[in-house]
Chain A
Amino acid sequence: MTTEISRRVKVGAVFEGTIVTPKWFVWENRRRMIAQVTWRWHTMDGETRIAHFSVTDGGNLFELTFNPVTLEWRLVRVTGG
């Protein structure tokens, strides 16, 4: 089951050159360690290229987005495992 969230979240990420890799995020007062980034893609919001990450903590599947202009991370949806 997929639940739409669309909420700002705190994320720890590694920036290597032009590659951004989220490592953990906080949701429901819990720090979730990202076991795997399973897919990456981009969408355009006006002139801003939003990065999307499909990530798993080993149980659930999450979609995170990163806006490189506002530096805002959002948790878009959660799919229960």
Chain B
Amino acid sequence: MNTVGGEAERQPQTCRQGTVLHLDMDAYFASIEQACNPSLRGKPVVVCGETSAEQGWGRTIVTTASYEARRFGIKTGCTVPEARRRCPDVAIVCGDPEKYLDTSRRLHRILLRYTDRVEVYSIDECFMDLAGTRRDPVTAAAEIKKAVRTELGLTCSIGVGPNKLIAKLAGDLQKPDGLVTMSRAEALVLFEDLPVQEVWGWVSVPPNGWRGWGFSPLRNWGEHR
């Protein structure tokens, strides 16, 4: 696994790490709102869907929490009253989906400069495959991060790997503003101890876990792939 931080580390590497990139915007909705409103920058912010505070926030759900809010334990999916209990000063912003969608389209235009093999996974997540482009994936990833910062004023985290699963796993290891590469061999080492429910795409675990089954699914996957 290689956390790519300095310029020297961004020199082209061989494609042994793979050509698949997973890009995830950092605290996407909250970051856009902080960029829009200078008074929110550096402060705990949550974005939610409710349109009228007068009706009371009730069970209104937080769709995104800024990293400043996450330090108080506020996460996506918690209710606004819970967020306020954890951080009384948290700023609550009603989300603007059109604004976020248009920004996503601008992001896609950046990614399409590198390859037409861009898969939009969600409003703030994309996969790309640079195979056949003759671009070094790590260098391209660093360039994309720079373009996202300068053109959109936002940060993102990128994972580079031989397939989508490993690229996403790598990208999730260092957030925000991360760039992590992971080879298949490195992923298999990580899978040895990774709780299966933390793996992307794994929808359920038996009620009593896998212990009674006598094997670790991920370890077995590595052995029999």
A3 within 8 A of B: no
Does A38 lie within 8 Å of B103, measured CB to CB? no
User: Shortest beta-carbon distance, B196 to chain A, in Å?
Assistant: 40
Q: Is the CB of A61 within 8 A of B102?
A: no
A79 CA to B40 CA in the complex, in Å?
Answer: 12
The answer, among A2, A38, A41, A56, for a CB contact under 8 Å with B98, is A41
Residues of A close to B37: CB separation below 8 A: 38, 54, 56, 61, 79
Contact in complex: B39, A61 (CB < 8 Å): yes
**Chain B, Cβ-Cβ closest to A36:** B38
Is there a chain B Cβ closer than 8 Å to A81's Cβ? yes
Main secondary structure of the interface of A (DSSP, over half): strand
**Does A74 count as interface, using CB distance less than 8 angstroms?**
no
Contact B35 A41 (CB under 8 A): no
CB distance from A15 to the nearest CB of B (A): 20
- Interface extent on A, as a size class? 10 to 19
Question: Binding site of B, secondary structure by majority: helix, strand, loop or mixed?
Answer: helix
Contact A56 B35 (CB under 8 A): no
- Nearest CB of A to B30, in Å: 13
B203 within 8 A of A: no
Q: Classify chain B's interface size.
A: 10 to 19
Q: Are the C-beta atoms of B32 and A39 separated by less than 8 Å?
A: yes
A17 to B99, CA, bound (A): 23
In the complex, what's the smallest C-beta–C-beta distance from B91 to chain A, in angstroms? 10
| Interface mask (B176-209 → A, CB under 8 Å = 1, otherwise 0) | 0000000000000000000000000000000000
A39 lies within 8 A of B38 (CB): no
Smallest distance from the beta carbon of A66 to chain B beta carbons, Å?
14
Contact B36 A52 (CB under 8 A): no
Interface string of A30-44 (1 = CB under 8 A from B): 000000101101110
Give the docked Cα–Cα distance between A39 and B35 (Å). 7
Q: Would B38 and A38 count as touching, CB distance under 8 A?
A: yes
CB distance from B32 to the nearest CB of A (A): 7
A56→B36 CA distance, assembly (Å): 9
Q: A2 to B36: give the CA distance in the assembly, Å.
A: 14
Restricting to B1-45, which residues have a CB under 8 Å from any CB of A?
32, 35-39
12 CB contacts below 8 A, A to B, read A36-B38, A38-B35, A38-B36, A38-B37, A39-B35, A39-B36, A39-B99, A41-B99, A41-B102, A61-B36, A61-B38, A81-B39
A-B CB proximity, top 4 nearest: A41-B102, A54-B36, A39-B36, A43-B98
* A interface list, Cβ under 8 A from B: 2, 36, 38-39, 41-43, 52, 54, 56, 61, 79, 81
